[in-house]
Amino acid sequence: MEVSIKINGANYERDVEPRTLLVDFIREDVGLTGTNVGCDTSQCGACTVHLDGSAVKSCTVLAVQADGASVTTIEGLANGELHAMQKAFTEKHGLQCGFCTSGMIMTAVKLVESHPDIEEDDIRHGLEGNLCRCTGYENIVRSVAEGARQFDPHSPWEMEPAEHKITLREAERRARERSRA
Amino acid sequence: MTTTERVFGKSVRRLEDPRLITGKGRFTDNLSRDGMAHMVVVRSPYAHAKVKSIDTSTAAAMPGVVGVYTGQEMAAAGFGGIPCAWVVPDSDTQTPSHPPIAIDTVRYVGDAVAIVLAESEAQARDATYAVDVDYERLGVVVNPKAATEDGAPLVHDEVAGNQCFHWTVSGGDVEAAFSQADVVVGETIVNQRLIPTAMEPRAALGDWDSAMESVTLWVTSQNPHIARFLLSLDTGIPEHKIRVVAPDVGGGFGSKIAHYPEDSMVIFASQQLDRPVKWTETRTENYLATTHGRDHVEEVEMAAKSDGTILGLRAKTWANLGAYLSTASTGVPTILHGLMLSGAYTIPAIHEDVYGVFTNTTPVDAYRGAGRPEATFMVERMMDLVARELSMDPVELRRKNLIPPFTDGHEVATGLIYDTGNYEPALDQALEMFGYEEARKQQSAARAKGRLVGIGVVTYTEICGLGPSEVAGAVGFGGGLWESAIVRFHPSGKVHLMVGVSPHGQGEATTFAQIVSDQLGVAVEDVEVVYGDTDQTPMGWGTYGSRTTPVASGAIMGAIEELKEKGTKIAAHLLEAAEEDVEFSDGVFSVKGSREEGKTIQDIALAANTAWSMPEGVDPGFEASSFFNPANFVYPFGTHIAQVEVDPETGEIDFQRYVAVDDCGPIINPMIVEGQIHGGIVQGAAQVLWEGAHYDDEGNLTTGSMMDYAIPKAEFLPKFELGKTETPTNVNPLGVKGVGETGTIGSTPTVYNAVMDALAHLGVEQIDMPLTPEKVWRAIDEAQKGGN
The helix (H) or strand (E) run that includes residue B590 is strand B588-591
Would residue B359 count as lying in a domain? no
Q: Are B667 and B732 found together in one domain?
A: yes
Distance of CA B245 to the CA centre of its chain: 20
Alpha-helical runs (H) found in B490-617:
508-520, 548-575, 601-610
Per-residue pLDDT tens for A34-49? 999 999 999 999 999 9
β-strands B582-585, B588-591 pairing: antiparallel
pLDDT score at A161: 38
Per-residue pLDDT tens for B593-627? 999 999 999 999 999 999 999 999 999 999 999 99
The partner residue sitting opposite A99, judged by closest CB among B19, B251, B707, is: B251
Touching check for A99 and chain B: CB below 8 Å? yes
Q: Are B419 and B518 found together in one domain?
A: no
The candidate with the shortest Cα–Cα distance to B418, out of B631, B629, B634, B630, is B634
Would residue B336 count as lying in a domain? no
Would residue B768 count as lying in a domain? yes
Touching check for A133 and chain B: CB below 8 Å? yes
**CA of B38, closest CA in chain A: separation in Å?**
12
pLDDT score at A170: 67
pLDDT at B539 over 90: yes
pLDDT at B271 over 80: yes
Task: Specify whether the CB–CB gap between B756 and B764 falls below 8 A.
Answer: yes
pLDDT score at A172: 65
Would residue B11 count as lying in a domain? no
| Contact between A136 and B507 using a beta-carbon 8 Å cutoff | no
Q: Are B78 and B219 found together in one domain?
A: yes
pLDDT score at A177: 73
pLDDT at A181 over 80: no
| Contact between B21 and A86 using a beta-carbon 8 Å cutoff | yes
Q: How far apart, in whole angstroms, are the C-alpha atoms of residue A156 and residue A175? A: 15
Burial class (CB in 10 A: 0-12, 13-18, 19+), B580: exposed
pLDDT score at A162: 37
pLDDT at B138 over 50: yes
Q: How far apart, in whole angstroms, are the C-alpha atoms of residue B290 and residue B201? A: 9
Q: How far apart, in whole angstroms, are the C-alpha atoms of residue B612 and residue B626? A: 26
Q: Are B620 and B639 found together in one domain?
A: no
Q: Are B391 and B435 found together in one domain?
A: yes
The partner residue sitting opposite B679, judged by closest CB among A40, A90, A135, is: A135
The residue-averaged pLDDT of B484-501 equals 98
Q: Which residues of B touch A38 (CB under 8 A)?
A: 199-201, 250, 283
Q: Are B688 and B777 found together in one domain?
A: yes
Q: Are B757 and B715 found together in one domain?
A: yes
Give percent above pLDDT 90 in chain A.
77
pLDDT at B581 over 80: yes
Please identify, among B563, B598, B628, the residue that sits at the C-terminal boundary of a domain.
Answer: B628
Q: Give me the CATH code for the A84-149 domain, please.
A: 1.10.150.120
Mutation site, A24, A36, A73, A97, interface B, largest B CB count within 10 A = A97
Q: What is the DSSP letter of B12?
A: P
Q: Where are the domains of chain A?
A: 2-76, 84-149
Q: How far apart, in whole angstroms, are the C-alpha atoms of residue B539 and residue B227? A: 12
pLDDT score at A158: 42
- Positive or negative, the Cα torsion across B365, B720, B542, B537? positive
Distance in Å from the first CA to the final CA of chain B: 82
Would residue B471 count as lying in a domain? no
Q: Are B72 and B209 found together in one domain?
A: yes
pLDDT at B1 over 60: no
| Contact between B17 and A98 using a beta-carbon 8 Å cutoff | yes
Please identify, among B603, B628, B653, the residue that sits at the C-terminal boundary of a domain.
Answer: B628
Q: Which residues of A touch B251 (CB under 8 A)?
A: 96-97, 99, 133-134
Q: What 3-state class would DSSP assign to B558? A: helix
HEC string for B616-680: CCCCCCCEEEEEECCCCCECCEEEEEEEEEECCCCCCEEEEEEEEEEECCCCCCHHHHHHHHHHH
The partner residue sitting opposite A140, judged by closest CB among B250, B283, B714, is: B714
Please identify, among B592, B612, B628, the residue that sits at the C-terminal boundary of a domain.
Answer: B628
pLDDT score at A164: 44
Q: Assign A166 a pLDDT band (cuts: 50, 70, 90).
A: low
The residue-averaged pLDDT of B431-449 equals 98
What mean pLDDT value characterizes chain A? 89
What mean pLDDT value characterizes chain B? 97
The residue-averaged pLDDT of B329-354 equals 98
The partner residue sitting opposite A139, judged by closest CB among B253, B283, B675, is: B675
Q: How far apart, in whole angstroms, are the C-alpha atoms of residue B577 and residue B596? A: 15
The partner residue sitting opposite B251, judged by closest CB among A19, A127, A134, is: A134
Q: Which residues of A touch B504 (CB under 8 A)?
A: 97
CATH of the domain at B528: 3.30.365.10
Per-residue pLDDT tens for B447-461? 999 999 999 999 999
**CA of A132, closest CA in chain B: separation in Å?**
7
Touching check for A12 and chain B: CB below 8 Å? no
For residue A89, report the phi and psi dihedrals to the nearest 5 degrees: -65, -40
pLDDT at B173 over 80: yes
The residue-averaged pLDDT of B67-79 equals 98
Instruction: Supply the ipTM of this predicted assembly.
Output: 0.97
What order of strands is seen across the sheet that includes strand A10-15? Answer: A10-15, A2-7, A70-72, A48-51, A54-57
Touching check for A81 and chain B: CB below 8 Å? no
CATH superfamily membership of A2-76: Beta-grasp domain (3.10.20.30)
Sequence-ordered strand ranges (E) for B149-211: 163-171, 183-194, 203-209
Q: How far apart, in whole angstroms, are the C-alpha atoms of residue A12 and residue B661? A: 53
Q: Which residues of A touch B11 (CB under 8 A)?
A: 93
Q: Assign B4 a pLDDT band (cuts: 50, 70, 90).
A: low
pLDDT score at B521: 97
Q: Are B647 and B777 found together in one domain?
A: yes
The partner residue sitting opposite A93, judged by closest CB among B283, B675, B743, is: B675
Indicate if A84-149 has the same CATH topology as A2-76: no
Closest chain A CA to residue B504: A97
Q: Which residues of A touch B24 (CB under 8 A)?
A: 34, 75
Mutation site, B17, B21, B691, B708, interface A, largest A CB count within 10 A = B21
Write the CA distances from A177 to A29, A180, B297, integer angstroms: 20, 5, 65
The model's pTM is 0.95
pLDDT score at B3: 44
The partner residue sitting opposite B199, judged by closest CB among A17, A38, A91, is: A38
Listing DSSP states for B33-102 in one string gives: -TT-EEEEEEE-SSSSEEEEEEE-HHHHTSTTEEEEEEHHHHHHTT--PPPP-B--TTS--------SS-
Question: How many pairs of residues across A and B have Cβ atoms under 8 Å apart?
Answer: 178
Closest chain B CA to residue A17: B122
Q: Assign B119 a pLDDT band (cuts: 50, 70, 90).
A: very high
Q: Which residues of A touch B21 (CB under 8 A)?
A: 74, 82, 86, 89-90, 95, 98, 101, 105
Touching check for A139 and chain B: CB below 8 Å? yes
| Contact between B22 and A98 using a beta-carbon 8 Å cutoff | no
Touching check for A56 and chain B: CB below 8 Å? no
The partner residue sitting opposite A44, judged by closest CB among B248, B675, B706, is: B706
- Name the residue range of residue B576's domain: 17-23+482-628
CATH of the domain at B62: 3.90.1170.50
pLDDT at A116 over 80: no
* A153-159 contacts at long range (C-beta below 8 A, 24 or more positions apart): A153/A113, A155/A72, A155/A77, A155/A79, A155/A83, A155/A109, A156/A9, A156/A76, A156/A79, A157/A8, A157/A9, A157/A70, A157/A72, A157/A76, A158/A50, A158/A53, A158/A70, A158/A72
Closest chain B CA to residue A88: B21
Peptide bond between residue B409 and the one before it cis (omega within 30 degrees of 0) = no
Q: What 3-state class would DSSP assign to A53? A: coil
Q: How far apart, in whole angstroms, are the C-alpha atoms of residue B740 and residue B542? A: 14
Angle, nearest 10°, between helix axes B670-689 and B742-759?
40
Within the 34-53 window of chain A, which residues sit less than 8 Å (CB to CB) from chain B? 34-41, 43-44, 46
Q: Are B118 and B216 found together in one domain?
A: yes
The candidate with the shortest Cα–Cα distance to B310, out of B462, B172, B177, is B177
The candidate with the shortest Cα–Cα distance to B514, out of B166, B12, B22, B126, is B12
Q: Are B585 and B642 found together in one domain?
A: no
Per-residue pLDDT tens for B667-702? 999 999 999 999 999 999 999 999 999 999 999 999
The count of domains in chain B is 3
**CA of A80, closest CA in chain B: separation in Å?**
11
The residue-averaged pLDDT of B324-330 equals 97
Q: Are B70 and B219 found together in one domain?
A: yes
